Structure 1
Amino acid sequence: MKGLTKLLLGLVALVVILIASAGILLGVFFEPNDYKSDIEALALEKAGLELSIDGDIGWSVFPWLGLQIGQVKLQYPQQPALASLEQAQVSVKLLPLLSSKVEMSSITVDGLDLNLVQAADGSNNWSLPGAEPETAGADTADTADTADSATDAGAAVALDIESIAVTNGRIGYADLKADSRVQLQDLALTSGRIRQGEYFPLDLSFRLDQSAGEAAALSAATTLKAEVQLDPKTQQYRLRGLDSSVQLQLAALGEKPLELKLSGDVAADLVAQLARIDNLNLSLAGLSASGSLSVQDFAEPALGGELKLAAFNPRSLLEQLGQPLPAMADETALTQLSLSAVLGGSASQLSLKPLTLTLDDTHFNGALAYGLSDGAISLDLAGDALNADRYLPPQSDASQTGGQAESQAGGAERYSKEEVIPLEPLRSLLLDGQFKLQQLQVSGVTLSDLDLAVNARNGLVNASRINANLFGGTVRNSAVLDVSRTPVTLKSSKTVSGLQIGDLLQALDGAEKPAMTGTLSSQADISAQGRSVHAIVNSLNGTARFNVADGTISGIDMAQTVCQGFNNLASLGINAEQVDGSTPFANLGGNFNIRNGVISNDDLQATLDAIGLKGKGSVDLPRALIDYRLGLTIQEDLFKQSCSVNNKIQGVEWPVNCKGSFDTPPAQLCRPDLSVFEDLLKARLKQDVQQKVEEKVKEGIQEKLGDDAKQLLKGLFGN
């Protein structure tokens, strides 16, 4: 056995000596540069590539199997240049290969230039002209075979590379059809000693430039440092202590660059098909985020993780991004925002559920999902209290805007013809959202239990719920906006129940005494067409009905007006100052038809205090005109204590005409038709005079004829 061992060792030594001698002889007697033309011809014949080697080829066999080459160019015939290389050098130790070990010296690549071009007709310069693309099935099979081969190789081969250095690298991609370009320049990569299962340092830097046409769109200078572990045997790969920085410059943000920093630990297990990023930290212009991210099952990825966005100032961030905000009523509004969520989803969708969001003093909870392939948004948020008035323009700006609107209203066009409904954003919108707020303040009005539900697909925006409670009542709305066709159509249905009109008017105008009080209930179904306010108003159609119970109207005092009219015309001795300065009513309601912006009604009814009211007429929204007639009927002795009225006028309808434009002051808009008062009183006076004449004649005849004349008088005067 001992002799056999010596024999084997001797044979191994002999093989080593022979290989070493052959390497020395090849290095002395074989000159590779003499075969440049043969190598170039072989590349064209076998791969269809035009290979040009302008530099020297150096090589060695023992103890290192090495290759050094320079000034190489590569392209397909009659295609733009594909790649070029200034210099590359690689060598592997020969003897360790016999025991399935790969020990390499430093790998150096200098001046690599990869130029990818997509032509306007869809062809490119990195594929052989006329070659048919491989089928998806073949790709899948090849990928599987490659993975299996890599696994087998990883299990059999151990790597040991002294270092890798890539300098002066450049990768460019041009899409001539889209007239866009992306360039990766100043690419540099260096590493420490690479051994299987051991961490080694890695440094990477490059500059990325993107342009559209002649205009630069993006520029990013990137640096990355990490400790990397490669273990092909177990198919596990890790980056520890990842620290990267990007100096980002966007044309839309001006010349000032933004710094983006990313750090964390990355791990990938190809056997378990799991990739993770832990201890993730991201910062950008005052924005700081932390969390983790995982991907399970590479074929059908399942995303997971956590995200926490520390409180930051959105106002300052937008200003740094070149997007300053308009003035707001509250300068401290939109100065604090924070977010935390659990990440989930798939390769086609990213979800944040549960989601917690804080905006200034308002807290939201819910879920958010975003479709990565189609941009679909699914939103379900519920919040506590939001004061929207803080985010609106300051009062002075709002007043100025209102003044401009009023000025325009007095001009030729009361309603703007500017198209305010955008088509393309709404047609491409994919949204399924629900939004709830316990309390919302807007324009001085406080709404509670706000509930919105919106669905948008294929240009059809369906707001199935626009609900809220306010001023003791409920508002239930729904609306459908269809922008998929021309003209744009809008349909809306609204139901109001139990709303206190006085509280609403008082909140809107701030007056101590509202112009009207009562409990409002209404229902309306309307439709319209067009994209501007002018078009919508002129195409308004539908029906509506309303009822106001137990209310009063201030400033239009029917009772006082009636009494004052009698006092002026007939001197009935009425003290008008004692009459109440408002008009109480038990019920006020009617039905309305709307045709092309004209609202008409012929059944308005109200039960006032001792007065019945009926009305009919129209309101012309396009022309901003009112033509309405109210009829008042005294049903009993009107305000007996302060305005005693003779029974003769009971049951007579007293008209009040409301006619004018929307700009007419209310006191001048509605006035009683006093001619009725005058005609009625004249008839009353005529009747009184006739009665007195009859009484005098009767008295005279009776004195002369005595009791025998009674029968005659009765026949003459009827009593």
Structure 2
Amino acid sequence: MSKLLKYLTFFITGLLVFVVALALILFVVIDPNRYRPVLEDLVASQTGLQLQIAGDMNWTFRPVFGLSLQDVRLSNGVTPQELASFSNVALRLEPAGLFRGELNLQEFIAEDLHINWTVDSNGQTNWLLDLPPSEAPAQTSSAGSIPVDINIAQVTLNNASIDIQDQQQGLNASLRRLNLSGSNTNLQGQQFPLEISTQLIDQTTNRRLDLNLQSDTSIDLDAGDIALSDIRFNLSPLLITGSAEINNFRNDLSWQADLSSQPFNLSYLLENFMALPEDSMPAPDEQQITVQTLRVNGDTEGVTLQELLLGLNDTSVELTGDLLFATGNRRMMIGYELRGGDINLDDWLPASEQGQVSAPGSGTSGGTSTANATELPLEILNTLDLRGNHSFDSISYSGLRLAPVSATLQIQNGVLNLVSQPAGFYDGTLAATASVNASSRPARVEIETQLENVSAAALTEDKPRLGFFTGNFNANTSHTMQGNTVDALLNSISGASQMQVANSSVDITMLKQVFAAISVLNPDGNLAAQWADTVRFNNVEAYLLFNDGLDENQELRVRLDNFDVSGTGGINLDQGEFDYSVEFTILGEPAPQTIRVNPNYHNIPWPIRCDAAFADPGLQYCSPDLQRVREVFAQMARNEVERRASEAIGEQVERLRNRVRELFQNN
């Protein structure tokens, strides 16, 4: 038994020595550079691209047994820039194949791969050029006789990078630290796990995004099919799961996807793409969106959104639609249906800081901001036809609520029309229409709204600042604007806003305060001393007329029975302020004498300045121009002196007439 074990040991040792010696002889005898033309010709015949192995080729045992290729470059033979380059490529080979004179490729490992992807101004990419048929160089007998079998079961990319430059879209981005791993990879449709991680860098803003994709993948190159199942795509804080398929991408491309997501915070996702003020960021558990269902498919003709169901905090929104791509004689066509529950826009829009003062030159009045002076993308209206229907249980914003809401959006021949059906609005209705004509130069915008029978009391429950009056009111607005920037539109706004209230009780505390200030200069005392704080008026009317902009040239008129307010001024939206020079007048008969005052003060226009911020308390909105008030009282005094003098002269003249008459009668 011991002798048998000894012989067996000698046999195994000798066999190992023989194998090692044979391998050493093989590696010494076989020059790896003999495979250089084989690999270059293989790439040329399979892809039409040119592979250049500019560095050394050596046998390697790390990270795998096989060939090590240094300084590998790939080009299309047309553009001067390389398509891709590798600092090092390792190809794992089947050892037995080398003894048979074959090159059996089983694994591909690339270090420091760099890819250049460019798109010119005509939309042509450097990787998808229509290349002329390649003529493979003449093969040497040693190279041409080597069979090549490609059965790559593992693909690994370490520290790869991609530069993307799209002149047509103005895109300049890079992928860095790109790592790809796929075991049992194949192109015959058999499923294999795939993992990709990378960092996307916007070279314009230097913003960086970390991306990660994991999926079970199958690729059938002959059929042109790619399928991804058990997808896990992560872009913090977004995690998408589901499946996707691409079919027949060689001839008649079609695709479909069925995806969903975990809840994520919208603001934190947007922060990946734009700078957001830190103090405006919501808590991580707010602004929660969940992609509950996303089923979409498409082909070379267009896209069909079968269902998109979004969870928005405690409500949901559902979107379905179709999109047909533009052709030579047809614009892009879009049709969709949007339905939702109770939507509170305050949960999603940043809160406005009332009364905030902008920096000099940041607004329309003190200068022109870059954003407001930027050309609006109105030209897109000339490139598509669209029709969308919208319906929501309710929409709330800044304390106001509409319920229910139904509106239609249509774009045709460069004209956008938005029409809302009358929506419930505080015991009344609100309807609106908007039109944007982008085919005119400059673009023309028309907006109309109509409020009917709205309850001021109900409205006050949500907007306490409007609690200075009661009653049901009607209001309508009609405005036009022209321009292709926000500044141009605001500076050209013209039109009118009107409101009528019947049988309304109005808090006139501010009016009393103004007249109390006026009465300081009045020798007869306080004109408003007997006025009640709240007065019931038979008729309340108001209108505001815009003439070529917001900053100035506005005409204001308010009528409360026998109380009349009229003036001119403007609004500074950036500063959140208004400035009007107005006149307060208490009318005499035949106007209803709801606010009573000594007839001596009837029909006198009192000069008032209403200059304040919208956020200020209402009692601070207006105050008298005391210098001009003195002039009014002085004029009243002069008028009184003239009246008394006229009366005295009249009396003397009448006495003289009587004496003359008596004299003639006596004679």
Same fold (TM over 0.5): yes
Letter in 2 for 1:221: N
Partner of 1:24: none
1:550 to 482, 494, 503: 503
Tell me how far 1:567 sits from its aligned partner. 14
Q: Does residue 1:243 correspond to 2:213, yes or no?
A: no
Letter in 1 for 2:297: G
Letter in 2 for 1:380: E
Q: Does residue 1:438 correspond to 2:438, yes or no?
A: no
Letter in 2 for 1:666: Y
Partner of 1:165: 106
Whether the aligned pair in 1 keeps the contact of 2:194 and 2:215 (CA below 8 Å) is yes
- Secondary structure of the 1:423 match is coil
Letter in 2 for 1:555: T
Tell me how far 1:287 sits from its aligned partner. 0.6
Whether the aligned pair in 2 keeps the contact of 1:634 and 1:650 (CA below 8 Å) is no
Q: 1:579 to 1:168 in 2, by over 3 A?
A: closer
Whether the aligned pair in 1 keeps the contact of 2:225 and 2:247 (CA below 8 Å) is yes
Partner of 1:524: 477
Q: Separation in 1 of the partners of 2:345 and 2:222? A: 49
1:667-678 matched pairs, under 5 angstroms: 667-669=622-624
Partner of 1:225: 183
Q: Separation in 2 of the partners of 1:566 and 1:645? A: 16
Q: 1:171 to 1:599 in 2, by over 3 A?
A: closer
Letter in 2 for 1:119: T
Q: Does residue 1:310 correspond to 2:262, yes or no?
A: yes
- Secondary structure of the 1:668 match is strand
- Secondary structure of the 1:653 match is coil
Letter in 1 for 2:190: L
Q: 1:361 to 1:213 in 2, by over 3 A?
A: closer
- Secondary structure of the 2:357 match is helix
Partner of 1:119: 79
Q: Separation in 1 of the partners of 2:226 and 2:165? A: 38
Q: 1:636 to 1:645 in 2, by over 3 A?
A: farther
Partner of 1:4: none
Q: Separation in 1 of the partners of 2:437 and 2:635? A: 52
- Secondary structure of the 2:467 match is coil
Q: Separation in 1 of the partners of 2:443 and 2:482? A: 5
Q: 1:683 to 1:449 in 2, by over 3 A?
A: farther
Q: Separation in 2 of the partners of 1:254 and 1:544? A: 45
2:296 to 327, 343, 350: 343
Q: 1:447 to 1:310 in 2, by over 3 A?
A: same
Instruction: Show structure 2 runs of 5+ residues with no match.
Output: 1-30, 56-65, 84-101, 129-147, 167-171
Tell me how far 1:525 sits from its aligned partner. 2.5
Whether the aligned pair in 2 keeps the contact of 1:540 and 1:595 (CA below 8 Å) is yes
Whether the aligned pair in 2 keeps the contact of 1:248 and 1:260 (CA below 8 Å) is no
How many residue pairs are counted as aligned between the two chains?
538
Tell me how far 1:473 sits from its aligned partner. 3.7
Tell me how far 1:261 sits from its aligned partner. 0.5
1:383 to 313, 328, 340: 340
2:316 to 346, 363, 379: 363
Partner of 1:92: none
Moved more, 310-319 or 682-691: 682-691
Whether the aligned pair in 2 keeps the contact of 1:537 and 1:621 (CA below 8 Å) is no
Moved more, 284-293 or 617-626: 617-626
Instruction: Show structure 1 runs of 5+ residues with no match.
Output: 1-52, 58-67, 88-107, 125-160, 184-188, 193-200, 231-237, 702-711
Partner of 1:209: 161
Partner of 2:450: 495
- Secondary structure of the 1:403 match is coil
Q: Separation in 2 of the partners of 1:538 and 1:221? A: 53
Q: Does residue 1:514 correspond to 2:467, yes or no?
A: yes
Whether the aligned pair in 1 keeps the contact of 2:363 and 2:369 (CA below 8 Å) is no
Whether the aligned pair in 2 keeps the contact of 1:379 and 1:433 (CA below 8 Å) is yes
1:615-630 matched pairs, under 5 angstroms: 616-620=566-570, 625-630=579-584
**How far does the alpha carbon of each residue in 1:5-48 deviate from its partner, in whole angstroms, 9 at most, with x for none?**
xxxxxxxxxxxxxxxxxxxxxxxxxxxxxxxxxxxxxxxxxxxx
Q: Separation in 2 of the partners of 1:631 and 1:495? A: 29
Q: 1:318 to 1:688 in 2, by over 3 A?
A: closer
Q: Separation in 1 of the partners of 2:536 and 2:366? A: 34
Whether the aligned pair in 2 keeps the contact of 1:329 and 1:392 (CA below 8 Å) is no
Partner of 1:334: 287
Partner of 2:95: none
Whether the aligned pair in 2 keeps the contact of 1:338 and 1:359 (CA below 8 Å) is no
Q: 1:662 to 1:118 in 2, by over 3 A?
A: farther
Q: Separation in 2 of the partners of 1:213 and 1:229? A: 29
- Secondary structure of the 2:587 match is strand
Q: 1:684 to 1:418 in 2, by over 3 A?
A: same
Letter in 1 for 2:156: S
1:281 to 228, 231, 246: 231
Letter in 1 for 2:372: V
Q: 1:621 to 1:390 in 2, by over 3 A?
A: closer
Whether the aligned pair in 1 keeps the contact of 2:585 and 2:602 (CA below 8 Å) is no
- Secondary structure of the 2:343 match is strand
Q: 1:223 to 1:190 in 2, by over 3 A?
A: farther
Tell me how far 1:420 sits from its aligned partner. 2.0
Q: Does residue 1:595 correspond to 2:547, yes or no?
A: yes
Q: Separation in 2 of the partners of 1:301 and 1:181? A: 21
Q: Separation in 1 of the partners of 2:119 and 2:356? A: 52
Whether the aligned pair in 1 keeps the contact of 2:497 and 2:543 (CA below 8 Å) is yes
Q: Separation in 1 of the partners of 2:269 and 2:456? A: 43
- Secondary structure of the 1:539 match is coil
Whether the aligned pair in 2 keeps the contact of 1:172 and 1:182 (CA below 8 Å) is no
- Secondary structure of the 1:284 match is strand
Tell me how far 1:636 sits from its aligned partner. 8.2
- Secondary structure of the 2:76 match is strand
Q: Separation in 1 of the partners of 2:365 and 2:435? A: 27
Whether the aligned pair in 1 keeps the contact of 2:453 and 2:473 (CA below 8 Å) is yes
1:653 to 592, 595, 603: 603
Tell me how far 1:538 sits from its aligned partner. 3.4
Tell me how far 1:517 sits from its aligned partner. 4.2
Partner of 2:25: none
Q: Separation in 2 of the partners of 1:410 and 1:69? A: 65
Letter in 2 for 1:588: V
Letter in 1 for 2:310: L
1:387-536 matched pairs, under 5 angstroms: 387-393=344-350, 398=353, 402-405=355-358, 413-414=365-366, 416-420=368-372, 422-423=374-375, 425-428=377-380, 433-455=388-410, 461-465=416-420, 469-482=424-437, 487-501=442-456, 507-508=462-463, 510-511=464-465, 514-530=467-483, 535-536=488-489
Whether the aligned pair in 1 keeps the contact of 2:220 and 2:226 (CA below 8 Å) is yes
Q: CA RMSD in A?
A: 6.0
Q: Does residue 1:83 correspond to 2:51, yes or no?
A: yes
Tell me how far 1:363 sits from its aligned partner. 1.0
Q: 1:265 to 1:549 in 2, by over 3 A?
A: farther
- Secondary structure of the 1:383 match is strand
Letter in 1 for 2:300: A
**How far does the alpha carbon of each residue in 1:633-657 deviate from its partner, in whole angstroms, 9 at most, with x for none?**
34489989xx9888xx499634344
Q: Separation in 2 of the partners of 1:457 and 1:588? A: 42
Tell me how far 1:559 sits from its aligned partner. 12
Letter in 2 for 1:423: E
Q: 1:583 to 1:536 in 2, by over 3 A?
A: farther
Q: 1:561 to 1:413 in 2, by over 3 A?
A: closer
Whether the aligned pair in 2 keeps the contact of 1:601 and 1:618 (CA below 8 Å) is yes
- Secondary structure of the 1:420 match is helix
Q: 1:247 to 1:367 in 2, by over 3 A?
A: same
- Secondary structure of the 1:389 match is helix
Whether the aligned pair in 2 keeps the contact of 1:349 and 1:372 (CA below 8 Å) is yes
Tell me how far 1:580 sits from its aligned partner. 0.7
